[in-house]
Chain A
Amino acid sequence: MSDLNQQMAAKYQNNFLREIEEQAEMGEWVKMCMQCGLCSGSCPTNFHAGWDHPPQELFMMIRAGKRDEVLKSNSMWMCTSCYNCYVRCPRKVPVTHVMHGLAEYAYRIGQSPKNQPTQHLSKTFWDNATKTGRVNEVKLTQSLYFKDGIGSGIKKAMEMQAVALGLVKAGRLNPLEAVGIAHKCKDIKGIHAMLAKANELEAQHKAEKAKA
C-alpha cells in the first residue's frame, strides 16, 4: 500500500491540491472553498475536542500542500454525515462528501491513522455485512469492543451487559450469532455477484484516474 502512496507523491510532486482534485472523490471542490468557516460553525460534533482540523482548515492545508498532515488527519473520520455543512455552505461545496472522499483516498493509499475507531468500524461493518448480506450484530460488536485488546474488550462488554440482555429478551438480538448461526440474505450469490461487479467498476474508474 505504501508504494501506492509513494507513487502518488512522486506523480504530483508538490501539487497536493491537484492530487486531491484528481484522486479523491469530490476533490475538485476543495478549490472553491472561500474560508468563511460556516461548515465548522455548523458542525454538531464539537470538533474542537476531537478533530485535528475543522473542514475549512483542512481545505486550506490541501491548498498549502501539507500532504502528510492532511492524509494522516483524523478529521475526515470524525464526520457523522449529518450534512449540516453541506446544506449551509454558501459556495455549495458538498463538504460532507469531500470529507468522505478524503477519508477514502487516505485509506486507499495507506496513510489513514491506524486503529481509528470510525475507520475500524467502517471496515468491520463492510466485511461483516457483505459476507451474508445481513449484519451479524454480535460479531460486529465483538470486533469493535475487542479492537484494543482482550482487557478493554471484556470491560466494555461488561458495561453493556444490561443493554445486551434487554435486546435479547425483546428478541432484537440473537446470541447464537456469536457462533455463526445468523440470519442471511436469500440470494447470497446474487449479492456477491453484484458487489463483485461494483468493485470491478470502481477499480476500473480508479485505474483510469490514476493513469490520467
Chain B
Amino acid sequence: MAETKTAAYICKGCDIDKRVDVAALVKTATKSGKMNLVREHDFLCSAAGVAMIQNDIDNEGVTHAALCACSRRAKTEAFNFPNTAISRGNLREGVIWIRPDTDAARETTQEMAEDYVRMACAEVKAMTVPGGNPNTGTVKTLLVVGGGMSGMTSALEASKAGYKVVLVEKTGALGGWAAKLYRRVPTREPFKAPEDNGVTDLVARIEADSNIKVYLSATIAKTDGAPGRFKVEIAIESGAVANEDIGAIIQATGFTLYDANKLPELGYGKSPNVVDQAGLEALAIAAAAAGRPICRPSDGQPVNKVVFVQCAGQRDSSGTHLPYCSGFCCNTSIKQAMYFKDSNPDIDTVVLFTDLRTPGNGEDFYRAAQNKGVIFSKGVVSDVSAAGNACSVKFKDLILNEEVNTQADLVVLATGMVPTSGPDLDQLSEANRVAEGGDPAAKQHVVELMSKSVLNLTYRQGPDVPQFKHGFNDSHFICFPYETRRTAMYNAGPVRRPMDIAQSQEDATGAAMKAIQAMENAGLGRAAHPRAGDLSFPTVRLEGCTQCKRCTVECPFGAIDEDEKRFPLFNESRCRRCGTCMGACPVRVISFENYSVNTVGSQIKSVEVPDEFSEKPRILILACENDAYPALDMAGMNRHEYDPFVRVIPIRCLGSVNTIWITDALNGGYDGVMLMGCKHGEEYQCHFVKGSELGRYRLSKVGDTLKGMNLETERVMDLEVAITDMATLPQKINDYAALIKSFPPSPFKGF
C-alpha cells in the first residue's frame, strides 16, 4: 500500500462560510491538524466537490480524508469513497445550527468549529480503511428448526425468495400445534366462523418445493461455526446423523400448553369432563370423524352446557403460575364455543373471563359469537369440582359482585403458552459452576438442562440463544423483533413471545427475510443489524492480552470463544461491531480499523482546552450513534440551541466506552464528561441489547477514579437518551453545563 497522505476538506455551503471564518479553519487543519493537503469548497457534496475529492484520491495519492461539512449521518451517498479512510467534522448540525447567529456568539462558535476540524483530522489519522471480514462463509442455506406454522411459513418464504432451506422437525409430521386444531380462528373477512386449519395445504406446498429439504423425527445435535458457515449435525430418531452446511438459522420451536395438572383447583385430572383447549380440539376432531356432536368424555352423553375458564394458570400475580397473558386463548375459546353453537344453538356456552382480549380481527369474531348466543360473563373461577358426570363451577361474578355456582357438562381451561426455548443460559452456567464440585446430583442437573437444548451451539457462551423475560427468547418487542443475541439466528413465533397463528406467520416471514440479509452480509464479510454493511471487524493484539476474559464474557452476541491457550478467539462473522469488547478490555488491545481507543482518544486530546482564567469550560459528550447522536442532529435541524462549550464524539454503543477516555479527558483539563446511551434493563432500547447496560456497569466504577483525582463525582454524568428526546436534549445539556460552570475550573488545565 502506498504511503499515507492526509487531506482535509472544508465545506462552505449551507451558510457555513457566513457563520464561521473558513480561512481560519483551513489554517487550523493545516497547523493543528497537520494535514498534508487542505482544500475548501463552496459546495462539497455537489458533483464538483465530490469530483475534487476523488481527483485528489486518484491523482494526489490521498489515503485519509477529513470532510468538515455536515454530520456523518448526512450525505453518506455523496461522500462514499470505499478505499479511503474518511472522518467527518460536523460543522453544520453540530455547530452553526445549534448556535445563535449573533456577534456575541461568534467567538465561541468559531472555537467550536475549529475544534471539530481538529477532531476530524485527529480521528482520520488514527484510522485505517476497513478491509472486510476475512473469515467469511458463503453458504446460503437456511436452517429452520421447528415444523409448525411458523417454521413452515419461514421455509416457504425463504424458498420463494430463492434460497435453499433445511427444515428440521422433532416429531414425525409437519404441522405442529395447528395440525391438532379442528378449526382455526378465521383469517379473512367476515371473521365470523372458524375456518380450516390450513396445515394440509402448507404441508403439500412444502413437499412440492424442491428448495426445501425436510428432516422429520430429527433434532439438532450440534451447531458449530459462524454465520455463513455453520456446520450442523442433525440427529435422526433412527440413529442416523446428517450433516448440513448452513448460512443462517431460524428457531421456530413454538410452545407447549401450560400443564393443566398444576391446576387441581380447577378440576383438571379429577374428571374427564374438565379438559384444556388442546383436549377440546381432540374431542372436536374425534366427534367430526365419527360424524356426531361433541360428547361428554365421562359417559359419551350429549353436552348441554359448556363453561370456558379463561386465564387458567395465567396472569397470575402470586408467582405460582404464568404471570403473563398468552394472547391467543380468548379467541380460541370463542372459536371452541362456536363448535357447539354451530352444531346446536341450544347448547349453553358460557365464557368466564376477566378481560376479553381478542387481538387482530378478533373483535369481529367476538361479536359473531355474541350473535350466535355465546354468553360472556365477567368472573373469576375459584373452584371446579366434579360429581359424576357433571361439573360444578364456582366463580365470583365481577359485574354483579356475588359468588355463583353453575353446573356444566364440560369445562374447558384456557391455559397459556410456555415457550420451547431451551435451557436458560444463566441457570445453566450456575449449574455448571455447582457441578464443578463433582457432586453427581449437580452433574445430573446439568445433563437435564442440556437435554432441553434446541440448537446445541458450541459457543463458549452457552448452547442456545439467551432468554429474556419468562423464559421467552430475547428479542426486542418493537424495534428488532426477530433478532436474537446470536448473529444470524432469528426467532419466529411463540418462542419469542406469546402469539397466535396469524402473528406467527407474519413473524416467520419477517424472520426469513432477516435471515436472508444476514447470510448475504456474512458472505460479503459485512456486519448484520444494526451496523448492517459495516466492513470493520475487531482485531486483538494478543501479545498484550492478559487473558482476563472480560471480552469473552461481555460480548452480547457470543462472538468471542477461547482458543486452546485461553486467548480470545474472535469469530468476526458473529460480531455486530458494537465495540463492547473494546470498551471492556482493561489493557486496550482490541480495536477496529476505523474505531479504536485511539480514534476517539486522539479526538479527545485534539480539542483545545482554554486555561482556567478564560471562563470557557470544556465538556466532552460521548453520544451513542444509534439514538443520542441522531437526536443531537435532529436538535440541530430544528435549530434548538445548546451550550457552545460541549464537544460531541459519536460512539458505536455505550458499551464501547473505555474508561481510559474519561480519565484522559479529565486529566486533559475537561471540566465534565457526559455520556449518552440508550435505555437499559427490562425495557431496554440498546441496539446491541446489553451494550448500554454493560457500559453503565463499567462506568458506575468511575466515581472512585474521580475521588482519587479529587474531583466532584458529578463531573461525569450518565444520561439515557432516546431518539424522541430530540427537543428536550438541548435543555439537559444546558442544565449540565450550568452545573459544571458552578464548579471551580478543572485543576488539571494546562498540564
Chain A residues whose CB sits within 8 angstroms of the CB of B373 once the complex forms: 31
Question: Is A32's CB under 8 angstroms from B371's CB?
Answer: yes
How far does the alpha carbon of A35 sit from the alpha carbon of B377 in the complex, in Å? 9
For the complex formed, measure the closest distance between the CB of B367 and the CB atoms of chain A, giving whole angstroms: 7
In contact, B399 and A34 (Cβ under 8 angstroms)? no
Is there an interface contact between B399 and A35, defined as CB atoms closer than 8 Å? Answer: yes
Q: If A32-B367, A32-B371 touch, does A60 touch B356 (CB 8 Å cutoff)?
A: no
Known: A34-B356, A34-B366, A35-B378. A60 touches B399 (CB 8 A): yes
User: Per-residue 0/1 for A47-77: is the Cβ within 8 Å of any B Cβ (1 yes, 0 no)?
Assistant: 0000000001100110110100000000000
Asked if A60 contacts B377 (CB within 8 A), the reply is yes
Expressed in whole angstroms, the Cα–Cα distance for A63 and B397 within the complex equals 12
Please tell me if A183 contacts chain B, counting CB pairs below 8 Å: no
In contact, B400 and A60 (Cβ under 8 angstroms): yes
A17 at the interface (CB under 8 A from B): yes
Q: Which residues of A contact B376 (CB under 8 A)?
A: 34-35
Enumerate chain A residues within 8 angstroms of B371, measured Cβ to Cβ. Answer: 31-32
Q: Indicate whether B404 reaches chain A with its CB closer than 8 angstroms.
A: yes
User: Once bound together, how far apart are the Cα atoms of A91 and B399, in whole Å?
Assistant: 18
B375 to A31, Cβ gap below 8 A?
yes
Q: Among A32, A56, A57, A63, which residue has its beta carbon within 8 angstroms of that of B377?
A: A63
Q: How far is the CA of A61 from the CA of B397 in the complex (A)?
A: 10
A31 neighbours in B (Cβ, 8 Å): 370-371, 373, 375
Q: Beta-carbon contacts of B365-384 to A below 8 Å, as 1s and 0s? A: 01100110101111000000
B397 closest partner in A (C-beta): A64
- Interface flags, A9-31, vs B, CB<8A=1, else 0: 00000000100000000000001
Q: Bound complex: CA of A32 vs CA of B399, how far in Å?
A: 16
Q: Which of A32, A63, A64 has the most CB of B within 10 A?
A: A64
A150 to chain B, nearest CB (A): 41
Inter-chain CA distance A58–B292, complex, in Å, is: 38
A56 to B398, CA, bound (A): 12
The interface on chain A, measured as residues whose beta carbon lies within 8 A of the other chain's beta carbons, has a size of: 13
Instruction: Tell me if B400 and A57 are in contact (CB < 8 A).
Output: yes
Q: How distant is the Cα of A66 from the Cα of B356 in the complex, in angstroms?
A: 23
Interface contact A32-B378, CB-CB below 8 Å: no
Can you name the residue of chain B whose Cβ is closest to the Cβ of A30?
A: B370
Quote the shortest CB–CB distance from A9 to chain B (angstroms).
19
Contact status B367-A91, CB under 8 Å: yes
Most interface-central of B370, B371, B397, B404 (chain A CB within 10 A): B370
Interface residues of B, count at CB 8 A: 14
* A:53-109 near B, CB below 8 Å: 56-57, 60-61, 63-64, 66, 91
Closest to B406 in A: A64
Question: Which among A17, A57, A61, A91 is the interface contact of B375 at CB below 8 angstroms?
Answer: A17
Q: Is the CB of A56 within 8 A of B399?
A: yes
B374's closest neighbor in chain A, by CB? A31
Residues of B within 8 A of A91 (CB): 367
Whether B404 and A64, one on each chain, are in contact in the complex, defined by CB atoms closer than 8 angstroms, is: yes
Residues of B within 8 A of A34 (CB): 356, 366, 370, 376
Interface residues of B in 335-382 (CB under 8 A from A): 356, 366-367, 370-371, 373, 375-378
Which of chain A's residues have a CB closer than 8 A to the CB of B404? Answer: 64
Complex CA–CA separation, A60 to B400 (angstroms): 8
B356 / chain A contacts, CB cutoff of 8 Å: 34
CB A36 to nearest CB in B, in angstroms, measures 10
Whether A64 contacts B377 by the Cβ 8 Å rule is: yes
Contacts of A57 in B (CB 8 A): 399-400
Chain B residues with CB below 8 A from A61, complex form: 400
A31 to B376, CA, bound (A): 8
CA distance A32 to B373 in the complex (A): 9
Which residue of A has the minimal Cβ distance to B399?
A60
CB distance from B566 to the nearest CB of A (A): 63
Bound Cα distance from A189 to B397, whole angstroms:
54
Q: Which residues of B contact A35 (CB under 8 A)?
A: 376, 378, 399
**Chain B residue nearest to A59 in the complex (CB):** B399
Which residues of chain B have C-beta atoms less than 8 A from A60's C-beta?
Answer: 377-378, 397, 399-400
Q: Give the CA-CA distance A66 to B399 in the complex, in Å.
A: 13
Interface residues of B in 388-425 (CB under 8 A from A): 397, 399-400, 404
A21, chain B: closest CB distance, angstroms = 9
**How long is the Cα–Cα vector from A66 to B375 in the complex, in angstroms?**
14
Residues on the A chain within 8 Å of B366, using CB: 34
Per the bound structure, the CA–CA distance linking A66 and B367 in Å amounts to 23
Give the residue name and chain of the A residue nearest to B404 (CB): A64
Q: How far is the CA of A35 from the CA of B228 in the complex (A)?
A: 54
The distance from the CB of B373 to the nearest CB of chain A, in whole angstroms, is 6
A-facing mask of B230-264, CB < 8 A → 1, else 0?
00000000000000000000000000000000000
B399: which A residues are within 8 A, CB to CB?
Answer: 35, 56-57, 60
Which residues of A are found within 8 Å of B367, using beta-carbon distances? Answer: 32, 91
* A63 cross-chain contacts in B, Cβ below 8 A: 375, 377
User: With the chains together, A63 CA to B366 CA distance in Å?
Assistant: 16
| Contact A64-B378, Cβ < 8 Å, known A32-B371, A34-B366 | no
| Distance from B532 Cβ to chain A, minimum over Cβ atoms (Å) | 43
Known: A60-B377, A60-B399. 9 other contacts (CB 8 A): A31-B370, A32-B367, A34-B366, A34-B376, A35-B399, A60-B378, A64-B400, A64-B404, A91-B367
* CB-CB nearest 9 A-B residue pairs: A60-B399, A32-B370, A31-B370, A63-B375, A35-B378, A57-B399, A60-B400, A35-B399, A31-B373
In the complex, 27 of the A-B residue pairs with CB atoms within 8 angstroms, ordered by the A residue number, are A17-B375, A31-B370, A31-B371, A31-B375, A32-B367, A32-B370, A32-B371, A34-B356, A34-B366, A34-B370, A34-B376, A35-B376, A35-B399, A56-B399, A57-B399, A57-B400, A60-B377, A60-B397, A60-B400, A63-B375, A63-B377, A64-B377, A64-B397, A64-B400, A64-B404, A66-B400, A91-B367
